[in-house]
Amino acid sequence: MKEVTYEGLTFEPYITREKIDSRIKELGQTISEECAGQNPLFLCVLNGAFPFASDLFRACEDIDAEIAFVRLKSYDGTGSTGQVKELLGLSDNIEGRTVIVVEDIVDTGNTIVRLIDTLQKKNPAKIKVATLLFKPEALEHDFKPDYVGFSIPKKFIIGFGLDLNGRARNLNDIYILKEN
């Protein structure tokens, strides 16, 4: 694996596809055990979470489960804007259901906390949050994700769904911004 460059910024390899794969399988096993018999609805937060959601959902093949999508946007370049825009809402009825929100990353927590607020109004039985990545030091809310792939420092990363202005989502591994 080598360094990659986008918009003049250099990124170095950080988490390999192999590590991501095996961690997602573990998460899938845990979720399958904890949510068996509940027919959970996986709620993929587009755009960033789609590779993770795709793998996690299929890592839960032993249980009955469904998937739906919402689209939110809060980042501009390498920094959070503090505002969360809903670009595609949820039409599914989630009343009485177990909902597993699937995120690529929880950074400040603004996006996930706002989404949970919106979902609560639709009276689900419970809401769980699965995130591939978590930056505990960046968190600005009293919130803890239920299923975390990797906890990472407060640095900017790309790949496996995570983007820099829409680019780099198709990288199979995760890369971290190089500081010099």
State both tokens at 85: 């825009």
Residue 32's Cβ-side half-sphere holds a number of Cα atoms within 13 Å equal to 15
Catalytic: which of 107, 117, 142, 163?
107
Contact between 24 and ligand IMP per CB under 6 A: no
Name which of 32 and 78 has its Cβ closer to ligand IMP.
Answer: 78
Distance CA 111, CA 80 (A): 10
Shortest distance (Å) from residue 14 CB to Mg ion: 18
Question: DSSP secondary-structure letter at 159?
Answer: B
Residues 12 and 44: beta-carbon distance below 8 Å: no
15 binds, among ligand IMP, Mg ion, none (CB under 5 to 8 A by kind): none
Shortest distance (Å) from residue 111 CB to ligand IMP: 3
Name which of 146 and 163 has its Cβ closer to ligand IMP.
Answer: 163
Distance CA 149, CA 59 (A): 13
64 assigned to active site: no
**C-alpha triplet 105, 27, 147: angle, nearest 5°:** 45
30 binds, among ligand IMP, Mg ion, none (CB under 5 to 8 A by kind): none
Contact between 40 and ligand IMP per CB under 6 A: no
85, 88, 93, 94 alpha-carbon torsion, rounded to 10°: -50
Contact between 107 and ligand IMP per CB under 6 A: yes
Contact between 101 and ligand IMP per CB under 6 A: no
Contact between 98 and ligand IMP per CB under 6 A: no
Name which of 38 and 150 has its Cβ closer to Mg ion.
Answer: 150
Distance CA 87, CA 65 (A): 25
Contacts with Mg ion by CB under 5 A lie at: 48, 104
Contacts with ligand IMP by CB under 6 A lie at: 48, 74-75, 80, 103-112, 156-158, 162-163
Active site residues: 107
